[in-house]
Structure 1
Amino acid sequence: MTLTQEKPLPPSPAPKSGVPVIRRNGETTPFDSSKISSALTRAFLDVEGTDAGASSRVRAVVAGLTEAVELALMRHAGPDRALHIEEIQDQVELALMRGGHHAVARSYVLYREEHARARAAEATDPTSEKQPKVRLADGTLTPIDTDRLKRVVGEACEGLAGANSEQVLAGTRKLLYDGMGAEELDQAPVLAARALVETDPDHSFVSARLLLDRLRREAFGALGLTPPADHAELSGRYPEYLAAYLRRGVDLGQLDPAMAEFDLDRVAAAIKPERDLDFGFLGLQTLYDRYLLHSGGTRYELPQAFFLRVAMGLALREVDREERAIGFYRLLSGFDVMCSTPTLFNAGTTRPQLSSCFLTTIPDDLPGIFGAISDNALLSKYAGGLGNDWTPVRGIGAHIRGTNGVSQGVVPFMKIANDTAVAVNQGGKRKGAVCGYLETWHIDVEEFLELRKNTGDDRRRTHDMNTANWVPDEFLRRVRADAEWTLFSPDEAADLHNLYGDEFTTAYRAHEEAAARGERKVFRTVRAVELWRRMLTMLFETGHPWITFKDPCNLRSPQRHAGVVHSSNLCTEITLNTTATPDAEEVAVCNLASVNLARHVGAGGLDREKLARTVRTAVRMLDNVIDINFYTIGSARRSNLRHRPVGLGLMGHQDALFTQRIPLASDRAVEFADESMELISYHAISASADLAAERGRYATFAGSLWSQGVLPIDSVELLAATRAEGELELDRTTRLDWAALREKVRSQGMRNSNVMAIAPTATIANITGVNPSIEPLYRNLYVKANMSGDFTVVNPYLVRDLAERGLWDPVMVGDLKYFDGALGQIERVPAELKELYATAFEIDSRWLIEAAARRQKWLDQAQSLNLYIARPSGRELDALYQLAWVRGLKTTYYLRSQAATKVEKSTLVTTDGRLNAVAPVTVTPAPACAIDDPECEACQ
């Protein structure tokens, strides 16, 4: 067959104009995809011979690869963002590997390495006339200061046993070229170091310190100050810097003028610049990109100033505000506890919206619905995550009195709420995020289950909104009995919305009887187990709706006397009352922080005294948020000031287990979850009671479970009273003196209606360098993608253990990549390490539920609990979620499952670290509220 008779080839992508490409000699030329096509063709010719040039197969492959490379490059390119020739070649290399063209890729790699070595040798030859120069802002060229480069890299590697300064310098030299910009020169050693993270995780700290060098010069320059020569010089410069920093922030209208009224000498003396060295690269880059204050993109806030700004912002109304600010600063900068992202964004600023989560109930009328959507926009604007209770809105076919028509149901309004969340993207800092909740008896529940499907009428889909089922116990009983279940429209069964426990069951059965008599116009009867199967099927296929349990949330709520919990929040850890009546509308608000357990354990277990101190201070910080907070809507302010709820949680649970050498899938891990949460619960409740003695009780304390001496551990019995035999199986063991605390709460009262909730902590865990929340280890080696880029993540505990046994080498790195970061199939790894470092999909999720159940008994709110399942089946999912119900959990979060296809096994090591490892792909999509996979970050 001749070439003209063959199937036409796909057209090559048209070259993009306006995107500059920086050549190695510093020249800039327009991007031209035809050059990529030519390079790929030459690579195939080198491997497959000259006959490949006439092959339509090769031409088609080259066209496809060229398009893939171009698409990857254009995601971040533009007229103001030049591409470097090395970046283009990296993408070509990656495209070849992804396409399975390994021989061609190998040839291409060897070609690049050969030329890179030649360039590096020439660049370091002082006699070479081609020694690279850097282009300054005014356009002049000056020789690169190689002595300073060596000094900075050496300082960055100091004290890190696994860091190799020579390798970092060698990698940096590969990136140098004549005429490169000053910013590119700053970035070169950072990229060189991060490419070595997979060889030893200490290089993550090296990368962070190199970024810190750049940040110091940027921040001091922005304030008109001479930058310190190195980190050692910074210590003596902080008082000078701090005064200039605060003046600049106030002048820009970004910082509250009251911040400049502190005794700056006193607070500056408390700053610990050495704590900057505790950041890993992911943490500091995240801080740099998203948290540090800037003007026109130029950062003027250093990390310790950032922590001090948050601490001072939270201490503004304290009597001895300097003393309190110093105490808060020490906790934050030491990574002992971390506030949620909205608090970190906005504390100390002129718009201190510090709260994390907002819960609303949507009323059943047009003004109320669109008023609630407007509230969503206002709350989301300043970084709040939203939970909407949609149950009151009448269903499809319900009568509309005003028009004598019929309702289109709840779904079209949820679509509008979805689009509003996309439009209001929290000031460009991150996506707006909302979760819609619906009770299982709502007539529209079957349509609700399909909201996240990618097929069907797109006008009845919410691709960006999270969804969750609000499931009453009666439904689970019907499932277990294989009985029928009746769906109603809330305009005909409005009382069900505000009932729970036995009262709900009685009323629900009465509505069924009324429907049987023909007294209900809109209803439908289904087999309960079939609806349950659809719920689990959709959860597996789309990741939504999540399964949350109405009755445990209400029966154990300390605020039962003040209202009903109608939903959880964006991440299923908040369980607060909401109302939708015009005369008593309340939008529930919660303010979050998380204790870093990794900083409170040693090989011998928990440091109980330190944990007690941390928790007491953290509760005080959270209580301060309520009074300082900037409220965008009045109903949120009224609710927060009346009830004063806070949510203290935890993170670094997996790290704490590693430190103690406890495998997560073990009885010892379940006991540790119980013990650690009991301590946090005890001291959090005690701290709130002490604040009540100092500052006064919250307004609705009288009549609460607290006022009756019923603490969270006691409220388990309230749930048990409504469950039949076998419906609640939960260990009730206690270790501390709870009787004394009950009496203290009764006599002193509580400052806060709620004090504990375990949030996902995705981003703040990145900042502090620990595993998020209560999550199991995701992988031992993978690439994490978020708004700040792609980051190689290696389990440092594993690396240490393998290195001690002489097993950490390039072969082990390759094996970890091949087996998706899991140790199970790597024969030379000892069995005890496989058990200790088992990853999320190697662990039976029943262990996660057992640990969560032990924590839940101590919590007055809930926890963001992800479940993982390697080989999903209907039987397995049913058993998992029924176990969660029987163990008394209030909520669950994402179900994560592995894809059927395997990930690419690239063994490339490149200059930017992006190809060093590959993140496993799951069929469950990342949360709509999240940028970080696989965690939610809207609350954190």
Structure 2
Amino acid sequence: MTEPATAVSPTAPKPSPTVRVLRRDGTTSDFDAGKIAGALTEAFVAVEGDSAAAAQSRLHPLVSDLTEQVRAALTRHAGPAPVLHIEQIQDQVELALMRGGYHQVARAYVLYREEHAAARRVTTKSDDDTAPALTVVGNDGERRPLDWTRVCTIADRAGSGLSDVDVPAVLRELRAGLYDGMSAAELDEALVMAARTFVERAPEYSQMSARLLLDTLQREALSFVTGEPAETDQQQIRVHYATYFVDYVRRGVELDMLDPELATFDLQRLGDALEADRDLAFDFLGLQTLYDRYFLHHDGKRFELPQAFFMRVAMGLALREDDREARAIEFYRALSSFDFMCSTPTLFNAGTTRPQLSSCFLTTVDDDLNSIFQSYRNNALLAKYSGGLGNDWTPVRGLGAHIKGTNGTSQGVVPFLKIANDTAVAVNQGGKRKGAACAYLETWHIDVEEFLELRKNTGDDRRRTPDMNTANWVPDEFLRRVEADEKWTLFSPDEVPDLHDLYGAEFAERYRHYEAAAQRGEIRVFRQVRALDLWRRMLTMLFETGHPWITFKDPCNLRSPQQHAGAVHSSNLCTEITLNTSADEAAVCNLGSVNLARHVTAEGIDHERLERTTRTAVRMLDNVIDINFYTIPEASRSNLKHRPVGLGLMGYADALFAQRIPVSSPEAVEFADHSMELVSYHAIAASSELAGERGSYTSFDGSLWSRGILPIDSLRFVDEARGRDAELDYSSTLDWDNLRERVRTQGMRNSNVMAIAPTATISNICGITQSIEPVYRNLYVKANMSGDFTAINPSLVHDLRARGLWDEAMVADLKYSDGSVRAIDRIPDELKELYATAFEIDSSWLIKAAARRQKWIDQAQSLNLYVTGASGHTLDALYRLAWRSGLKTTYYLRSTAATHVEKSTLRGTDGKLNAVSAQLATGKPTDSTASPGTTASPGTTASPGTTPAPVSACSVDEPECEACQ
């Protein structure tokens, strides 16, 4: 095989001569598509064994088509006078081969490129220390010679202490992309991009990339705060961090971005507590996410360094503590160590002049125009400051219902949901992330069948909500009828108003009463359907569109500690919050998550550390309630009265890896049980201790807590309501009797204490797996609003290195296997079991583990389920198992049909800084919702090599999930 992309075919098309190719030696030449055609021909010949002459006529049509694909992709978004690097061209050739299904040819092409790259590294090694004869345009507009010594020093510092990082290789990659007259900012970006190129080879390059970005951030922040140009290194940062911090707070107050109260802290004491080297703990995705969307900035200049960011959040949560500095330091240490992380709204806004810190808001929309349009206003105000919304629309009368005021008939709930959808899109949270809402409807509502189709990408656009999530609020009575294959009656809520607030046996009795009334002609609007048919439609729509999610009304209410204060009418955007709502109370929840990976070793859970973290976390979350900026009175009224918080978990898969426990095993189920029991015990104890210090929440009397009934005890209410037919586990290991008595006599500070959120963003910040999720892929491209990032499982890489199996061929095999290790023969069976990906495990294991957690949780958990080639029978079995196991909610159903890993190369598609290269490599504009490895939108797929088509489930990394965390 000859050097890729060098042979010439006179018949290949040639684009405009204004397109130039940057060669590895720094020279440029006209782009010639004939060289691509020649390289493709030789690649096929090398694999298939034909002679060039024999293959020429046979391959000509195929090669011409592939060449045109490459040419079109490279030039589509190239601009008026583009310069294409030769590596970009070769990446696109690989992509074209993979799109065509020529995997063996592409694999050989990858390995051949690597062989030649290795040879070039040997022949050019002597040039590594020679400074390129280039100039750089500084921020002042002056052109100066490139300071290659400084560049090398920065790269050496970034790679220091990181194993398997080849700094000279990064510098060689950088040299290939430099050009004369580039700006200083472009040089910084190019250095980061050069390191990121190697992330797929070793996870440590992600840390190196983060450190290179950190160097840029440090110079940017220090220059802004001091007003002078800043050149620094980590040693100087250690010395000057405290001084910088004092200046940072004062400057933030001057700019009206930080609460002036922060300036009254003992800033020197807090600055001295900062641990500068914790800045080095980030991987690239985590730091880039913070840089793009979390760090404070003015006129486009970031002036908040990572430890200042964590301390700002800690100070914002300690404002009303007696010893503010001591508590701020305690909170800071929990955050900066990644032991615990607050939710995104808290990280955005704590310590600022608008401290809207709460994550989730739940509302009920009443059946009148004033309430409906007030709900739109409330949604806009709540979403403006980063809140995720869950709206209960069940009370709104259905299609065909009588309107007394006009003597007309209703158009139903669907037209109003369309307006709610557009409101969520219009209010995009200041550009930090998309507005997000979820509409809930009970299964007996007359409009439920239209509700099921809201996310379809066909039909009347006026009756579709493409940007809003939807969820079914399902009573037990419906599922009993599904199992018995009986009829189910749909009603308009204006004729059956009390069904909305009823659950359990009372709901079932009243529901049968209304069915009898309908048969007697006493109810005007109703329709009977076969329950099983409706259930099948629910599952079909869930599979085809990812919505509506399936959530269970009765266990949410039967186990609610606040039964005496009202009913739970819905969950939230991410299905983990289960709080009461009414016309005058909008439920609010304040979220944060314990990083389980930081509390587990190969020997098991570090009980003492987990207890310490949990107690600190509950205090921080409780403080949110009093400090919070409330945008509507219904939210303030509810939150101050009931004081709910939601402490959750993340890094579950990482914790399993550390203990060598496969997710699809009884040991994983036991670990889920025991770890959640510990968090539950310490969280409840912490809230009770806060009640002793600060007093119980206002509505404590009459709650399950006040009767000594803890979440583990409320399981029996579900069991009893289902005639002892539920599949529940009551085992425990801790001294719950003592805690029951303490709660009963001492009280509780918070009506609700636990909820497991998706942690879509904060897990990225901490560099761990999301929430309670299994690992999605071992190598893939992860998307968020900061761009696309190569994600690689460091635990797998560590194990493969230990066995001498980590090499370029393994990287290629992982790409071609969609990040799965199952089909790679060289990998031992025990590693295949441990590192099985989400779509390779039976989701019943996820349900079993979730059921064990649910017995300890007073709210719910965001539980995603994964299916491959699902049948109706499979989905039916999974969701009935979830119901019988006592789960309160489920979240997304994900399918392999909607997601594919970029197989050609992960290089050049990685992240926001490389947006131009990403466009060239994919042939389409970079878009965080249309990236390799994720669906472009809920209705289309952006999988490389396929034509956009309806998907069968939602994206794995859909940015809306960030509205919870």
TM-score, with length taken from structure 1: 0.91
**Is 1:706–1:750's contact at 8 Å kept on the other side of the alignment?**
yes
Given residue 957 of structure 2, which amino acid in structure 1 is its aligned partner? Answer: D
Report Cα offsets for 1:702-733 as digits up to 9, x if no partner: 1111111111111111111111243x111100
Note the 1:66-215 alignment, pairs <5 A.
66-69=71-74, 73=77, 89=89, 92-93=92-93, 96-97=96-97, 99-100=99-100, 124=127, 131-215=133-217
Unaligned runs of 5+ in 1: 1-10, 30-34
- Report the Cα distance in structure 2 between the residues aligned to 1:522 and 1:819, rounded to whole angstroms: 54
Identity of aligned residues (%): 63
C-alpha contact (below 8 Å) 1:540/1:924 kept by paired residues:
no
Mapped partners of 1:853, 1:931: distance in 2: 22
Number of positions where the alignment pairs a residue of Structure 1 with one of Structure 2: 910
Q: Which residue of 2 aligns with 1:613?
A: 612
The one-letter amino acid of 2:706's match is: S
Aligned residue for 1:849? 847
Displacement of 1:43 after TM fit?
2.5
Q: Secondary structure at the match of 1:893?
A: coil
Conserved 8 A contact 1:69-1:91? no
Matched with 1:460 is 463
Distance (whole Å) between structure 2 residues aligned to residue 379 and residue 911 of structure 1: 35
**Counterpart residue number, 2:49:** none
Which of residues 36, 39, 55 is equivalent to 1:43? 36
Equivalence for 2:499: 496
Asked whether 1:624 is paired with 2:623, we answer yes
| Separation in 1, partners of 2:878, 2:354 | 44
Q: 1:805 aligns with which of 803, 806, 814?
A: 803
2:281 to 278, 282, 295: 278
Note the 1:214-363 alignment, pairs <5 A.
214-223=216-225, 224-363=227-366
Question: How far does residue 397 in structure 1 lie from its aligned partner after superposition?
Answer: 0.4
For residue 823 of structure 1, the aligned residue among 788, 809, 821 is 821
Aligned partner of residue 142 in structure 1, secondary structure: strand
Write the deviation string for residues 573-592 of structure 1: whole angstroms up to 9, x where unpaired.
00000002xxxx11000000
**Cα-to-partner distance string for 1:823-844 (whole Å, 9 max, x where unaligned):** 1111121111111111101110
Contact 1:597 1:653 in 2 (8 A): yes
1-side partners of 2:899 and 2:658: how far apart? 34
**1:934 positional shift:** 8.4
Residues in 1 aligned to 2:193 and 2:241: alpha-carbon distance in whole angstroms: 28
1:45 Cα offset (Å): 5.9
Letter in structure 2 aligned against 1:243: V
Map Cα deviations across residues 219-265 of structure 1 (whole Å, 9 max, x no partner).
11111245352111101101221122112211111110111111011
- Which residue number in structure 2 is paired with residue 814 of structure 1? 812
Mapped pair 1:937 → 2:962:
yes
Cα offset for 1:932? 3.3
Aligned to 1:793, which of 765, 773, 791?
A: 791
Deviation by residue 1:588-614 (Cα, 9 ceiling, x = unmatched) = 000000000011111111111111111
Q: Name the CA distance, whole Å, in 2 between partners of 1:104 and 1:653.
A: 36
Residue 44 of structure 1 deviates from its aligned partner by 2.4
- Is the counterpart of residue 919 in structure 1 residue 936 in structure 2? no
Contact 2:74 2:89 in 1 (8 A): no
Q: How far 1:176 moved relative to its partner?
A: 1.7
| Alignment-derived partner of residue 541 in structure 1 | 544
Aligned 1:52-67 pairs, distance under 5 A: 65-67=70-72
TM-score, normalised with respect to structure 2 = 0.88
Aligned amino acid, residue 868 of structure 1: Y
Amino acid at match of 1:473: D
8 Å contact kept, 2:14–2:34? no
Q: Deviations over 1:303-340 (max 9, x none)?
A: 00000000000001111100000000000000000000
Could you tell me which residue of structure 2 aligns to residue 7 of structure 1? none
SS at match of 1:698: coil
> Do 2:95 and 2:905's aligned partners in 1 also have CA atoms closer than 8 Å?
no
Instruction: Determine the structure 1 residue equivalent to 2:739.
Output: 741
Partner SS for 1:301:
coil
Secondary structure at 2:202 match in 1: coil
Q: Alpha carbons of 1:307 and 1:522: their partners in 2 closer, same or farther (altered >3 Å)?
A: same
Moved more, 136-145 or 518-527: 136-145
Aligned residue identity for 1:504: F
Instruction: After TM superposition, give the deviation of residue 189 of structure 1 in Å.
Output: 2.1
What is the distance in 1 between the residues matched to 2:701 and 2:610? 30
Aligned counterpart in structure 2 of residue 867 of structure 1, from 865, 868, 890:
865
Give the whole-Å Cα distance in 2 for the aligned partners of 1:447 and 1:201. 47
CA drift of 1:13 comes to 12
Counterpart CA distance in 1 for 2:851 and 2:352 is 39
Kindly provide the CA deviation profile for residues 544-600 of structure 1, in whole angstroms up to 9, marking residues without a partner as x: 0000000000010000000110000000000000002xxxx1100000000000111
Please, which of 362, 370, 375 is the counterpart of residue 372 of structure 1? 375
Q: Which amino acid aligns with 1:886?
A: R
Distance in 2 between residues matched to 1:101 and 1:754, nearest whole Å: 52
C-alpha distance in structure 1 between counterparts of 2:113 and 2:123, whole Å: 15
Equivalent residue number for residue 685 of structure 2? 686
The 8 Å contact of residues 364 and 581 in structure 2, kept in 1 or not, is answered as yes
Spell out the pairing of 1:427-506 with structure 2 (5 A cutoff): 427-506=430-509
Change (3 A) 1:901 1:425: closer
Residue 527 of structure 1 pairs with residue 520 of structure 2: no
1:464, 1:608 → 2: CA distance? 43
2:774: which partner in 1?
A: 776
Distance 1:827 1:182, change over 3 A: same
Taking a change above 3 Å as real, the CA distance of residues 704 and 911 of structure 1, as seen in their structure-2 partners, is: closer
Q: More deviation in 299-308 or 94-103?
A: 94-103
The CA distance in 1 between the partners of 2:528 and 2:427, in whole Å, is 39
Contact conserved, 1:762 with 1:936, CA < 8 A, in 2? Answer: yes
Residue 939 of structure 1 deviates from its aligned partner by 0.5
TM-aligned CA distance change 1:517 to 1:78, over 3 Å:
farther
908 and 549 in structure 1: CA distance in 2 versus 1, 3 angstrom threshold: closer
CA–CA distance in structure 2, aligned partners of residues 391 and 634 of structure 1 = 22
CA contact (8 A) 1:13 1:67 kept: no
What is the CA distance between 1:198 and its match in structure 2?
Answer: 1.3
Structure-2 change in CA distance of 1:260 and 1:503 (3 Å): same
Q: Secondary structure at the match of 1:470?
A: strand
Structure 1 residue 406 and structure 2 residue 409: aligned?
Answer: yes
Gaps of 5+ in 2: 1-12, 42-51, 912-917, 923-930, 942-950
Displacement of 1:936 in angstroms is 2.0
Taking the aligned partners of 1:762 and 1:369, their CA distance within structure 2 comes to 31
CA distance in 2, matches of 1:286, 1:95: 28
1:236–1:24 CA distance, 2 compared to 1 (3 A) = farther
* Structure 1 stretch displaced more, 103-112 or 615-624: 103-112
- 1:704 partner amino acid: S
SS in 2 for 1:495: helix
Q: Tell me, in whole angstroms, the C-alpha distance in 2 between the residues paired with 1:908 and 1:729.
A: 44
Q: Following superposition of structure 1 onto structure 2, how do residues 696-711 of structure 1 map, counting pairs within 5 Å? A: 696-711=695-710
Q: Measure the CA separation in 2 of the matches of 1:46 and 1:207.
A: 33
- The Cα of 1:172 is off from its aligned counterpart by 1.6
For 2:72 and 2:903, the matched residues in 1 are separated by: 22
CA distance, structure 2, for counterparts of residue 190 and residue 912 of structure 1 = 11
